[in-house]
């Protein structure tokens, strides 16, 4: 049974929409299907991984390295000349000793013949005792394999700066996601409320059409009874035609608005769905200064620019690290030792220092560029703050003006309804004319539509103020709870 339900939901995704669609449901649905937000979530995950990547810079690096080298010829050291010289010197020394001993024993030194004999004997003996001095250093085919190790000890503050920058980039990514989310939420709210406005306006058009139709039928009856002139009947008929045209236009406008909302919710249409959150308004309780202070504290664009300034400061610290020495540890362990030369160690460890002494002025220009970049971001922050202040004031005063207009409609609507009753009564009694009744209907229609438009304008301005403070989610809940 559960499988059947799942298959039906996949085949008919429209069933996922509730029959009664609240504003919060519409916003939730739009946030789930928005591709920009999906991309933002992937961006945040990527920045999390980049932060972990930056933290890995503190850890050592182990590399396996293998090479094959072919030499044109093997490398040999021919040192037999040195061996011959050593034999020659040793032979001369031993021959001198024998000659001295012979001189002591018999009083005469060795003869030339004796010297030749002794020289030959000593040379042959030394030649058999001393090995060849020729050395084979390397074959022509060399295979090397080793494990190499390196680890930063102090990089002039660059590694610390890299990790701080990665943390700030992640924070900026989350702020970007919040901005996109708030923009999506604002778009859905505006279209949803536009639908509610058009629904209410359509209802007003329908009421006006019914009222004017009733007037037209009364005028027709009175005309047939000879109580009113034909021009009054014609005026009523024209008014009825206009009311019908207004109602049809209102239906088309509502159809278009519902289509736009369906697109935002990734649906083909909203057939059978009722938008149940009414077109309502919440009175602003904070004054202008408190409203601006709240927006200034919570605005994501200002927060993002603050992160940009922090990133520039970190970049400057990292660039200052170019003036400092970089200290690192290193090591190497040979895995294949057959082809090592006499001078190659089997393993080695050490500590190195790298300090740039001259870079053609690159470091100086970097630091100067960092200073200019910081000033640029500071000026942009001031510019955005000024623009936000102007926008806040404009929205606040516009909302206040619309609120004053809304509050003035109660008395005006009562008076207009009384005027309509009086005009209809006068016309039915033969004391009034059709034009008075039509004008009364149109006046009531105008006041009702203007009131609805004022509520919509006020609410959208109020929501835009909350959008600037990234407070739309709470604002939507307040509209839902408003009775």
pLDDT in tens, 342-361: 778 889 999 999 988 888 88
Mean pLDDT for 244-261 is 94
Q: Provide the pLDDT confidence category of residue 49 given band limits of 50, 70 and 90.
A: very high
At residue 300, the 3 state secondary structure works out as: helix
Average pLDDT, stretch 37-46? 95
Reported as a pLDDT band with limits 50, 70 and 90, residue 10 is very low
Q: How many residues does the chain have?
A: 483
List the beta bridge partners of residue 350: 330
How many angstroms separate the CA atoms of 180 and 176, rounded?
6
Q: Is the pLDDT of residue 372 over 50?
A: yes
Where do we find the tokens 């390397």? 138
CATH 1.20.1600.10 residue ranges in the chain? 20-62+157-325+359-481
- Residue of higher predicted confidence among 96 and 292: 292
Q: Which of 267, 249, 279 is nearest to 448 (CA)?
A: 279
pLDDT of residue 483: 62
pLDDT band for position 142 (cuts 50, 70, 90): confident
Given a cut of 50, whether residue 11 has pLDDT beyond it is no
Rounded mean pLDDT, 226-240: 84
119-135 tens-digit pLDDT:
888 888 877 888 877 77
**Of 92 and 293, more confident:** 293
pTM: 0.78
For residue 461, give the nearest of 198, 189, 204, 256 by alpha carbon: 189
What mean pLDDT comes out for the span 407-433? 85
Judge whether residue 482 has pLDDT over 80: no
- CA–CA gap between residue 405 and residue 413 (Å, rounded): 12
255 pLDDT higher than 90: yes
Give the separation between CA 454 and CA 448, rounded to whole angstroms.
10
User: How many CA atoms are closer than 13 Å to the CA of 253, on its beta-carbon side?
Assistant: 18
pLDDT at 251: 94
Q: What share of the chain is helix, strand, coil (3-state, %, to 5)?
A: 70, 10, 20
More confident residue, 386 or 340: 386
* DSSP label of 322: G
67-113: pLDDT as tens digits = 988 888 887 777 778 778 888 888 888 878 887 788 787 778 878 78
CATH code, 20-62+157-325+359-481:
1.20.1600.10
pLDDT at 8 over 60: no
37's CB contacts (< 8 A; 6+ apart) are 31, 177, 180, 181, 184
Is there a contact between 192 and 277 (Cβ–Cβ < 8 Å)?
yes
Residue 310 has pLDDT above 80, yes or no: yes
Q: Are 95 and 118 in contact (CB under 8 A)?
A: yes
pLDDT at 14 over 70: no
The helix (H) or strand (E) run that includes residue 230 is: helix 230-264
At 220, the pLDDT band (50, 70, 90 cuts) reads: confident
User: In terms of C-beta distances under 8 Å and separation of at least 24 residues, what long-range contacts does 246-251 make, across chains too?
Assistant: 246/205, 246/208, 246/209, 247/202, 247/205, 247/206, 247/208, 247/209, 250/198, 250/201, 250/202, 250/205, 251/202
Highest mean pLDDT among 225-229, 295-299, 420-424: 295-299
Per-residue confidence band for 259, with pLDDT thresholds at 50, 70 and 90 = very high
Q: 11-25, 99-113, 205-219, 347-361: which range is least confident on average? A: 11-25
**β-bridge partners, 327:** 154, 353
- Reduced to 3 states (helix: H, G, I; strand: E, B; else coil), residue 335 is coil
pLDDT given for residue 345 in this prediction = 87
Residue 1's pLDDT band (cuts 50, 70, 90)? very low
Average pLDDT over residues 199-222: 89
């Amino acid at each position: 049974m559960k499988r059947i339900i799942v298959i039906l939901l996949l085949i008919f995704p429209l069933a996922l929409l509730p029959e009664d669609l609240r504003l919060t449901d519409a916003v939730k649905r739009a946030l789930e299907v928005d591709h920009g937000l999906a991309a933002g979530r992937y961006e945040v995950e990527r920045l999390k991984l980049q932060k972990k990547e930056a933290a890995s810079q503190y850890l050592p690096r182990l590399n396996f390295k293998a090479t094959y080298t072919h030499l044109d010829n093997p490398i040999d050291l021919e040192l037999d000349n040195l061996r011959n010289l050593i034999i020659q010197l040793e032979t001369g020394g031993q021959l001198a000793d024998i000659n001295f001993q012979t001189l002591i024993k018999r009083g005469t030194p060795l003869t030339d013949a004796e010297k030749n004999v002794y020289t030959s004997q000593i040379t042959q003996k030394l030649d058999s005792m001393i090995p060849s001095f020729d050395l084979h250093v390397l074959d022509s085919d060399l295979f090397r394999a080793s494990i190499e190790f390196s680890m930063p000890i102090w990089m002039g503050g660059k590694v610390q700066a890299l990790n701080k920058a990665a943390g700030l980039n992640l924070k900026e990514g989350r702020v970007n996601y919040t901005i996109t989310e708030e923009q999506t939420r604002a778009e859905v709210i505006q279209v949803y409320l536009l639908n509610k406005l058009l629904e209410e306006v359509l209802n007003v058009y329908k009421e006006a059409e019914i009222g004017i139709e009733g007037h037209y039928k009364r005028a027709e009856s009175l005309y047939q009874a000879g109580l009113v002139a034909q021009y009054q009947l014609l005026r009523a008929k024209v008014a009825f035609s206009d009311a019908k045209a207004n109602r049809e236009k209102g239906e088309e406008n509502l159809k278009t608005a519902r289509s736009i909302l369906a697109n935002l919710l990734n649906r083909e249409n909203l057939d059978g769905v009722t938008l149940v959150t009414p077109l309502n308004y919440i009175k602003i309780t904070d004054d202008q200064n408190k409203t601006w202070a709240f927006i200034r504290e919570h605005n994501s664009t200002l927060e993002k620019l603050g992160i940009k300034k922090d990133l520039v400061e970190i970049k400057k610290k990292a660039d200052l690290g170019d003036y400092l020495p970089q200290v690192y540890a290193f090591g190497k362990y040979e895995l294949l030792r057959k082809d090592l030369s006499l001078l190659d160690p089997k393993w080695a460890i050490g500590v190195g220092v790298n300090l740039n002494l001259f870079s053609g002025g690159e470091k100086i220009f970097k630091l100067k560029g960092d200073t200019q970049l910081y000033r640029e971001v500071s000026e942009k922050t001031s510019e955005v703050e000024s623009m936000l202040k102007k926008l806040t004031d404009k929205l606040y005063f516009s909302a206040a003006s619309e609120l004053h207009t809304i509050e003035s409609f109660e008395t005006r609507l009562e008076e207009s309804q009384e005027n309509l009753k009086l005009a209809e009564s006068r016309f039915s009694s033969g004391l009034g004319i059709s034009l008075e009744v039509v004008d009364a209907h149109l006046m009531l229609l105008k006041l009702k539509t203007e009131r609805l438009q004022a509520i919509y304008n006020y609410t959208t301005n109020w929501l835009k103020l909350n959008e600037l403070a990234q407070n739309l989610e709470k604002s939507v809940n307040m509209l839902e709870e408003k009775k």
